[in-house]
Chains A and B, each alone.
Chain A
């Protein structure tokens, strides 16, 4: 409820009128969950932008995966991340069987929740897409046949780069690719996902 209010009153007007999103490929958005959306990562605006692509009624069903050491660092931060972004906290250290990222993500998918993943693992400068981490391949091995939706985000790093807190208005592109399924070795999976996002970057 709070998330829906936050998105309709602040996030969407901000992204539409201040930033100015130009969305291509909206018809590729799956109508049903679960799926895994992957995108390049350059800005704190990325997760907000990707979530804003969905109708308010589906917001609670789409969960951005976010580093627990950052987005759950304090009680306050954690409350904000969960209430307004509905994140799935991913631990990068002190991992046990129950807190293993792949285990948690798979649990979400089997509950019918979709995920947003930034396979580069961290925000980049926006100049080029870094190589993807292999976590996504582990997840696909655990959930074979899951729909992957590649997305390329352009210019969001110019609106709000890493290390800045005041966004500037600059038109940003969201390019949504066709849903795909991948299989094969981990290396092959990672490579084909990288290629899918890079292909959107060039088109």
Chain B
């Protein structure tokens, strides 16, 4: 039972990460490969706060989100000059630099990470059980979904898609492409960092490997498999791709190669969807990936 709750928590966290990245990738056309780094900034901020200052959940959320947003604004800078491949490579650079900070700074505990993180408190109530933490993660995912839905259906959502299609045209109508791009980055980073907060409190320990380049590639795989520009797709992909490797447990697959097989499966899905079904599982618009 404990394990089922854990898987549920993971699905909720990845759904949040995928939706927040989808706003960048699917709606605004900014294919960033640094989402795991922002998620990590949120996670490390929460962990350091909890170990040293406070494990109040709301304060953790707010300060982690601020940290995530500040870092993401730096990551967002190249988007003003670089497109497609080159923007992706620049974000990959930031991903590597931030990961290297997690790995090598003294304060982040280096390769072994941080552990023994206390349970969070909310209005004086200590949240201990993993089921309560699952409910929190699910609530965050729902909140992220609803906010993203509101944004994409509002006139601002049309503006995002317009930036994706033709930046120059948007600028020529007097809209600030700079403001639009940075707003999306801020939204995306706030939720990614919040996902990091809940990840830390669920696991009560973190190490840098959870926030490396592979993880960023995995999140972008979720966006593409679900369908770039489809919020339902993001949720579906997060659920499917987290659950799928669980099926290995029922098949007679040796313990040693199961993790490798999982990665191969994710790689195959990424190749399959970019090759044969660029609109993803339930996306409609295939030209996001032009």
A binds B: no
Residues of A within 8 A of B (CB): none
